Amino acid sequence: MMKKMVRALLALPVAAALMVPGYVNQADMAHAASTTPPMVLSVDPGSPLYTNNWNPFSPNARWGQAWMYETLYYVDQQTGHQTPWLATAYKWESSTKLTFTIRKGVKWSNGSPFSANDVAFTFNMIHKYPALDTNGIWTVLHSVTASGDVVTFEFKRPDVPAFTYIANTPIVSEKIWSKVKNPVTFTNTHPVGTGAYLLQSYTPQQYVLVKNPKYWQASKVKVQTIDFPVVSENANTVWMNLSKGEYTAANAFAPNIQKIYLSKDTTYRNIWFAPGGASNLLMNLDKYPFNNVKFRQAMAYAINRPEVSSKGEYGYEPVASMTGLMLPANSSYLDRSLVKRYNYQYDPQKAAQLLASMGLKKNAAGQLVGKNGPITFTMIVPTGFSDWIEDMSIIQGNLKALGITLNTNTPSISTWVNDMQTGSFDMTLNFGLNDYNPYFYYQSDLATSNSAPIGKMATSNYERYSNKQVDALLMQYASSTSTTQQKNIINQLQKVMLQQVPVIPMFYAANWNEYDTRYYVGWPDASNPYATPTYNAPDVEMEFTHLAPRN
């Protein structure tokens, strides 16, 4: 799943629901007897994506699967703090051997016992079907085995950061998934997890989750029912429903959140846009002219990133460092002298000089012309992403001033994701990565192992950057426990970012988050940031053991 998605709430009347067989309905009675209305969260976009898919490894799964499938540990994206979850402890037995002790007494929602065998099966299934390995875990793993309550991960080489990827992997039932012919395409319409909620009903307009009475920490789960109505891809509809307050919580971008949302109810309405990593402008490096480093440097000077931040993102998302480092959190890594040397500020004249040094010249019509004719390409962002569409318009104007024709397109989210994964694009924006350690940003975006040939599915390096020196640095970092050596490696990687411009960090992604405390309290906020309210796994694991109806 993607680390961040622009999500918004649209509350609709509860439709006549298709009941899902095999699931308990005890929560119906609790709901009927309670004066507290069900929680309403709408985090899924509408047709054609609103399909009955609960596969936690599928990019098209319903967001509600995060309330069903759990991970070994909860790792806080902001701080890196670790909380035991399906595992009670872990230990590095050596630099290439990691063990997890699996929690006893946990049951799957169908009543079957959860065990270490389920954990080992999950990781070996991911190995058998590489399309499921979106974090590239098996590029470093050698084997995963279970014995008693212990799961042992053997590595091909030392890789300390792999702990976070392993800890955040959703675990599925061996008994069920071992019978699945193809887990990549499996839609899992009758989901069975260890998590806090069950699927009660599903329609193409709305689905409903109810509390799992067999949950291993059921006493901490106070929210009985959660409604997930479909989200409109029409931004105006989203903003209207935000304003009307037809929600409990939302992850929605709005151009003036104070006017649209907060001013309507100053007692109960709140926002906390938890800080995230840099959202990148991606250029397809397998295509001309993006395969020329001078052209990429020119783009970094040509695009008015402050205007994108202030107008397209309405000032909610500050301009990102061209190093990709999350600032100010990662300030200790920043090489200020290197940043000053390149000075990637908005500078159309500098951009024009770099383009001229490539032999590109304007024709009589004012078009910038290369060896194959006028420089023209297409930028895509998903339909309904109103801020990104405005960002794209600003970028289009910036490039037009240099004689470059930027065509624009707004495909469906599923098409956009597929185009990025397969390299079927020229230019696009991509989400920020919410991770506490800069290694994860560089590894995700720059490692060759996360790329793929055009037409094949890349896992995260969608721009198709490949550099053996960078791969070696990432490998060295992964095997190091020396903070001095790690800092030196990060310094070298930020130098690559500035010199090679594999991507253009645009702005620090805000985790859009509006919530209402009229009926439910305990939300994470800036004063108590116990989780990032992304409504993804594993954050919802933590959040929904804190939320409760207002007394």
pLDDT tens, position by position, 270-305 = 999 988 889 999 999 999 999 999 999 999 999 999
Pick the CATH number of 18-66+196-273+512-549 from 3.90.380.10, 1.10.260.40, 3.40.50.720, 3.40.190.10: 3.40.190.10
Q: Count CB-CB contacts under 10 A for residue 83.
A: 15
Q: What percent of the chain has pLDDT over 70?
A: 92
DSSP 320: P
Please state, in angstroms and rounded to a whole number, the distance separating the CA atoms of residues 480 and 496.
Answer: 20
Helix, strand, or coil (residue 493): helix
pLDDT at 237: 80
Q: In the predicted model, what is the mean pLDDT of residues 347-376?
A: 95
pLDDT at 39: 94
Distances (CA, A) of 317 to 443, 508, 548: 23, 5, 30
Q: Where are the domains of the chain?
A: 18-66+196-273+512-549, 73-177, 277-510
Q: In the predicted model, what is the mean pLDDT of residues 424-446?
A: 90
Q: In the predicted model, what is the mean pLDDT of residues 503-513?
A: 93
Whole-model pTM?
A: 0.79
Which CATH superfamily includes the segment(s) 73-177?
A: Dipeptide-binding Protein; Domain 1 (3.90.76.10)
Using the predicted structure, report yes or no on whether residue 29 has a pLDDT greater than 80. Answer: no
Q: In the predicted model, what is the mean pLDDT of residues 117-126?
A: 98
Poorest-pLDDT segment among 43-52, 247-256, 426-435: 43-52
Q: pLDDT class for 47, splitting at 50, 70, 90?
A: low
Q: Do 18-66+196-273+512-549 and 73-177 have matching folds?
A: no
Pick the CATH number of 277-510 from 3.10.105.10, 3.40.190.10, 3.30.230.10, 1.10.760.10: 3.10.105.10
Using the predicted structure, report yes or no on whether residue 74 has a pLDDT greater than 80. Answer: yes
Poorest-pLDDT segment among 182-186, 352-356, 455-459: 455-459
Using the predicted structure, report yes or no on whether residue 9 has a pLDDT greater than 90. Answer: no
Please state, in angstroms and rounded to a whole number, the distance separating the CA atoms of residues 137 and 5.
Answer: 23
Beta strands 150-155 and 141-147 are antiparallel
Q: In the predicted model, what is the mean pLDDT of residues 484-500?
A: 95
